[in-house]
A and B are shown apart, each in its own frame.
Chain A
Amino acid sequence: MKVLLGIGGSDDSLHALERTVERAVSAGDDLTVAVVENPDSPRSPEEVVARAEEVLADAALEAEIRRVEGDPGSRLVEIAESEGFDIIALGGGQTSPMGKINLGSIAQFVLLNATTSVTLVR
């Protein structure tokens, strides 16, 4: 499958990076990693790109890493539709100290607007 992984640097997005790369290796997915600008992220896009390079290298997986500027949710939906991706994968939400799952604003936008399937990685 042609998979577009959108990550902005929040903890759940980095977890999604690792899991999606693992899956791509075992399933033979054609993966593109889109590094978006998440204003809630504690990490800069440069740090996120570096992390993605590291995870891909460890898994010996070839995948494009692309910096995506502008509104993260709408840009991911647009890229998925215009470039024929089968699925958008995203972090599955942050968990509060109490244990409640809260979906991020990017995931909410993508879920409501994407015409492709969306995977939220837990």
Chain B
Amino acid sequence: MTPARFPDDVAEPFPEPPLSFEDREGRVIEIRGYDGSDAEHEALAEMYDAFDPADRAQGIPPSQPAAVRDWLDTILADDCLNVIAWHGDDAAGHATLVPDEDAYELAIFVLQEYQEAGIGTRLMKALLGYGQAEGIRKVWLTVERWNRAAVALYKKIGFETSNAESFELEMAIRLNGDADD
């Protein structure tokens, strides 16, 4: 399912976490890489328990608490990269890179009460900055076509459409060079 083609050009450098900023609602948000602790794992599970099912995409996040925890066990594994947007001790958003063949699949979720405050853009860039620092070269995602806001955000960040023939749009970005493919 990894795209057959990735952009030739390498994306701009993105800021690396940790970083903090004030969102458009005046809340102080801190973005950090996942530290591997049970406390952060559980805070994320609570964020997904509260997640509006209408914002699910292609079956994730799962809707049942037990399934959320199984899913988090998979995507918080050591071979994945995860960043979390914190508002105090509460997880407000989460973005992840999960390895698939020689590239990484990306997903990002922002809890409803924190949406449209500029957190998603920062979270996305922080994850890509983390990926660049870790030497990841190729990242891709799928997004539902009707989700115009998300598609516009991904384009602005530097993703290019790699496959437009499915229900979901597939987009890809190259984070680091020094590759012959």
Contact = CB atoms under 8 A, between A and B. Distances in A.
Contact of B1 (A96, A99, A105, A108): A96
B68 to A, nearest CB: 11
Contacts of B168: 102
A94 interface: yes
Given A94-B1, A96-B1, A101 B59 contact: yes
A121 B58 CA distance: 15
Contacts, number: 45
B64 interface: no
Nearest to A111: B167
B98 interface: yes
A100 B59 contact: yes
B99 A97 contact: yes
Contacts of A74: none
B166 A102 contact: yes
Interface string B82-116: 00000000000000101110000101000000000
Interface residues of A, number: 12
Contacts of A101: 58-59
B75 A96 contact: no
B90 to A, nearest CB: 23
B74 interface: yes
A98 B166 contact: no
Residue from A94, A97, A102 with most neighbouring chain B CB atoms (10 Å)? A97
30 contacts: A95-B59, A96-B1, A96-B98, A97-B74, A97-B98, A97-B99, A97-B100, A97-B105, A98-B60, A98-B74, A98-B98, A98-B100, A98-B107, A99-B62, A99-B71, A100-B57, A100-B58, A100-B59, A100-B105, A100-B107, A100-B142, A101-B59, A102-B1, A102-B58, A102-B142, A103-B166, A103-B167, A105-B166, A108-B166, A108-B167
Interface of B: 1, 57-60, 62, 71, 74-75, 96, 98-100, 105, 107, 142, 165-168
